[in-house]
Chains A and B, each alone.
Chain A
């Protein structure tokens, strides 16, 4: 199976346990994290994770779980295939 990467983005107000809760969902879904970066600018939290989604039919179920968590924490959490970022920022 060839590699297929997706980006999980988390944006919103900083609070305790964001990374733990997001990575828990990923672990429960057997998803490996390849890279992770985060910044906090004036209390505004952004985290980007590159994850391996090879062999998955669709990301709907995962997005649902992330939406749930996002609603609970007041954060925007999305998962989208990495190619869109590649296309827009690399020639």
Chain B
């Protein structure tokens, strides 16, 4: 027998007992040719193009899922940042586009459509401004539309005028969905150094360097890594890294295979595998618990950054060898509401907002799915974004902020977002003001690329 009995058992155990899954098959679709001076044509073009390319996405992904016996959790679509095709459209029309995208996603049976986005890290076009104005309402009247805004890059610096706007936008989006604990904010990511081929939501969009259409795959499996480590309780850290690498290798190979098969059947080029340890609220499917298994009593305590750095690097090394094209965000995600271990770290007073910030220096992606007190000011939200963007800009990595200032909630309360988004303890922020800093506006210049200490 080519494959040994115990190897087959291992694969089956990973899938059936340790939550190994393909987190998402995401089809990227360029909408550049949909732009039209007549808004009704534009809208129709967008609808037609997406349904033409992604019409069979769900059906094909589900067939592959059954045949290979590995779950594909989400089928998603990412599109050209909508701001780039808005042209002279009004705010109302931009909101209508969001509704069209939502309808398209529902019709096609895909879970999310990402790319209601604008890239404003250096300046804003007319379309960018329209999109930003439309964001709070667009996110509150749609279900499956995900938005992202790039406000900084290592090569362009940080657009602090845009950062200031984002604080206000997040606040308004939360207010408009206060009956759902500010759910609209869970669909909005603010990026520094975004990537063009990320299949994960809410930050996915189809970048300008991409082709007409592409299939990207996001694989996950914190549970698999966790149980591999549990079998080696006394391994030293070099061996821990080896175990993570080998596990990441296997997970990525599964993702690459599934991605290629789906791409081939849809006759669309295969793009990348995004190998990210993305936690879910399922038992043992937690990144925080991996860190605790490495040896921390609670995530957030001293040693958390070192353990996370080790893990993040090992994941990339294992994945890098397994796939011809690793891309997207690839690393370890640390969304709070989606990770039972993170939630416990906060409720046990071990994990704090400053520690979460520090963690984002050594892993992907940023402050993710964090519930903040409802009375946080727009300026403080902007300042949180600026801090994260600075970390990303200086360290030449992607960082992001997806925080939810939950209307009416105070520190220590627990809020539910439902489904994959989970639940989160509300965190407090520093009580001192950043108002003047944010009000200054302007830009933070791109950093030197030499003299790097």
Q: Spell out A's residues near B (CB within 8 Å).
A: 7, 9, 11, 35, 37, 39, 46, 48, 50, 58-60, 63, 76, 78-90
Contact = CB atoms under 8 A, between A and B. Distances in A.
B11 A46 contact: no
Nearest to B254: A88
B5 A78 contact: no
A89 B11 contact: yes
Interface of B: 1-5, 7-12, 16, 63, 66-70, 250, 253-254, 256-258
Nearest to B16: A76
Contacts of B9: 9, 11, 46, 48
Contacts of A89: 3-4, 7, 10-11, 250
Contacts of B63: 58
Contacts of B70: 80, 84
Contact of A81 (B3, B10, B67): B67
Interface of chain B, main secondary structure = helix
A63 B4 CA distance: 23
Contacts of B16: 76
A78 B69 contact: yes
B227 to A, nearest CB: 15
Contacts of A86: 2-3
Contacts of A87: 253-254, 256-257
A81 B254 CA distance: 12
A81 B70 CA distance: 10
A30 B342 CA distance: 51
A65 B257 CA distance: 27
Contacts of B258: 84
A49 to B, nearest CB: 10
Contacts of B69: 78-81, 84
B66 A85 contact: no
A87 B5 CA distance: 15
